[in-house]
Structure 1
Amino acid sequence: MTFITLVAFLVIFGMYSFHVLEAKEPLCSKFAYEEQLLEKMIRTEIKVETMVNEIKKTEDNVISTLGDIKQTVTDMFADMMGNITDEMLRRSDEIKRREESFTKLFEETRTNLTSDMKAKREEELIQLQGKLERPPIAFHAHHVADLVLDTSDEIIIFTKSLFNEGTGYDTSTGFFTAPVGGLYQFVVHTCAYANKYAFIGLVLEGEAIALDSNYDGNYYTCSTVGAIVRVRSGEKVWVKSTSSASNRQLQQDSLRMNTFSGVLINK
């Protein structure tokens, strides 16, 4: 009992001592601690509020800076787009002007080419029509009835006609009368009797346009003379002896032929 009583006493004494000690602690220390703690909390809250204000101010600055950057970028982009748009418009106008110039040049070239082709076609049609409307004019006559050339300026008449397109040559007179004016070619082929002379002239309206002479003491000889000349409609061309005497004589036989021919080359 004594040991148990002792233990209980010690426990009760310890509890009493604890309460006594707790009761002896100054009551003001608790309030001081709380005051200090409150002060710390207030200071901490002020610091936090200051930090919040600083953060908000920083956030506002960041937002303002971002806004300025955004506005700058927007302005730069707008300027760039404006420059690009202006350049595109300028190039578009230039392309349009070039297109209009090319179109105008093409139209002028096409018009000129069409006009030239039309004029050339009309000219060719007129020429073709003239050729179609123009009868062929050509003749070829032979066989001289009077071979002796003893008369001054004697007209040599070729009495036979192989063809006479346009009926310009007259076998009775020896004259070729141009049905139409134009450029003609005439050819005279004559043969001289052996040991005889032949002096021949091609005449247009009384004016000699070609001359020839032919002679051989032992053989019959032949020669040809011709001319290309412009003849007006109605003018006459003929062949004559330019020197007449008893020793002037032509020759024709089965081996030799005297001929007079002509053809209209162009009007």
Structure 2
Amino acid sequence: MVNEIKKTEDNVISTLGDIKRAVSDFTDMFADMKENISNELLKGGDEIKRREGKLERPPIAFHANYLTDLVHDTTDEIVIFTKSVINEGTGYDTSTGIFTAPVGGLYQFSVHTCVFRGYYAFIGLVLDGKVIAGGSNYDKDSYTCSTVGAIVRVRSGEKVWVKSRSSSSNNQLYQDAMKMNTFSGVLVNN
């Protein structure tokens, strides 16, 4: 009987050892799973923060019109659109006529100009000193308008403006309620 009890005790101790090892293995496995899940959650949290940063970034868009100076007879003279219809992100300066990109990204710009009959306009859309689009207007018999545009990648802090590309005294823009000179831009993607 003592042998039977001893045998049963050994079986119980052996089984308890097996259970202890199994619990230890499960504990290690759960610890690894917990660490993996924590790492994945951290990665997901970082991705969410990155995306939220993009969503929280205010829209960048401006549309300006009205010229106080219609005669542009000097080459490289900046055409200043003095009234801001919209200026989301406050990148456009109505006193200088220059848009400074608050954030880098892909932008679309458009310039619309009108001229007196018999006068010319040679304009350029400029990104940090380089003309990226240009156009001209002329009609001897009537007032005429034209539009120039571009889609470009702009770095944060870079400047975009409109300039005169000719030094003729016949360069004169025109505006009234029906024919408006405008300069606009919008951040398409960053």
What's the TM-score once normalised by structure 1's chain length? 0.53
2:116 aligns to what? 193
Deviations 1:210-259 (A, max 9, x none): 00011000100000010011111111000001112111110001110000
1:8 aligns to what? none
SS at 2:51's partner residue? Answer: helix
Larger strand fraction of residues: 2
Alignment of 1:1-267 (within 5 A): 125-126=48-49, 128-267=51-190
CA contact (8 A) 1:154 1:244 kept: no
Tell me how far 1:121 sits from its aligned partner: 6.6
SS at 1:227's partner residue? Answer: strand
Tell me how far 1:119 sits from its aligned partner: 11
> Take 1:189 and 1:265, find their aligned partners in 2: how far apart are those partners?
19
The structure with the larger Rg is: 1
Relative to 1, partners in 2 of residues 1:185 and 1:127: Cα closer, same or farther, differing over 3 Å?
farther
Please tell me the residue identity of whatever aligns with 1:227.
A
> Take 1:226 and 1:140, find their aligned partners in 2: how far apart are those partners?
13
Deviations 1:127-152 (A, max 9, x none): 53133221111000000111011122
> Take 1:209 and 1:226, find their aligned partners in 2: how far apart are those partners?
9
Deviations 1:21-68 (A, max 9, x none): xxxxxxxxxxxxxxxxxxxxxxxxxxxxxxxxxxxxxxxxxxxxxxxx
Aligned-residue CA RMSD (Å): 2.1
2:14 aligns to what? none
SS at 2:52's partner residue? Answer: helix
Please tell me the residue identity of whatever aligns with 1:157.
I
Identify unmatched segments of 5+ residues in structure 2: 1-36
Higher RCO by CA contacts (8 Å cutoff, separation 6 or greater): 2
Deviations 1:67-94 (A, max 9, x none): xxxxxxxxxxxxxxxxxxxxxxxxxxxx
> Take 1:187 and 1:223, find their aligned partners in 2: how far apart are those partners?
11
> Take 1:194 and 1:235, find their aligned partners in 2: how far apart are those partners?
36
Tell me how far 1:261 sits from its aligned partner: 0.3
Please tell me the residue identity of whatever aligns with 1:234.
G
Identity rate of aligned residues, in percent? 71
Relative to 1, partners in 2 of residues 1:120 and 1:198: Cα closer, same or farther, differing over 3 Å?
farther
> Take 1:118 and 1:188, find their aligned partners in 2: how far apart are those partners?
47
Please tell me the residue identity of whatever aligns with 2:144.
T
> Take 2:41 and 2:167, find their aligned partners in 1: how far apart are those partners?
59
SS at 1:263's partner residue? Answer: strand
